[in-house]
Chain A
Amino acid sequence: DAGITQSPRHKVTETGTPVTLRCHQTENHRYMYWYRQDPGHGLRLIHYSYGVKDTDKGEVSDGYSVSRSKTEDFLLTLESATSSQTSVYFCAIRQASIGGSYEQYFGPGTRLTVT
Chain B
Amino acid sequence: GESVGLHLPTLSVQEGDNSIINCAYSNSASDYFIWYKQESGKGPQFIIDIRSNMDKRQGQRVTVLLNKTVKHLSLQIAATQPGDSAVYFCAETHSGYSTLTFGKGTMLLVSP
Contacts and interface: CB of A to CB of B under 8 A. Distances in A.
Interface stretch (B13-21, B70-78, B100-108): B100-108
Contacts of A39: 2-7
Interface string B6-47: 111000000000000000000000001010000000111110
Contacts of A105: 46
Interface string A29-66: 00101000111111111001010000000110000000
A101 interface: yes
Contact of B49 (A38, A43, A101): A101
B97 A102 contact: yes
B56 interface: no
27 contacts: A33-B99, A37-B4, A38-B4, A39-B3, A40-B6, A40-B104, A42-B103, A43-B89, A43-B102, A44-B102, A45-B99, A45-B101, A48-B98, A50-B98, A58-B99, A59-B101, A88-B4, A90-B43, A90-B44, A94-B98, A97-B46, A102-B97, A103-B34, A106-B45, A109-B43, A111-B1, A113-B1
Interface residues of A, number: 32
B94 interface: no
Nearest to A94: B97
B18 to A, nearest CB: 24
A106 B97 contact: no
A46 to B, nearest CB: 11
A40 B7 CA distance: 6
Contacts of A42: 89, 102-105
A20 to B, nearest CB: 20
B23 to A, nearest CB: 11
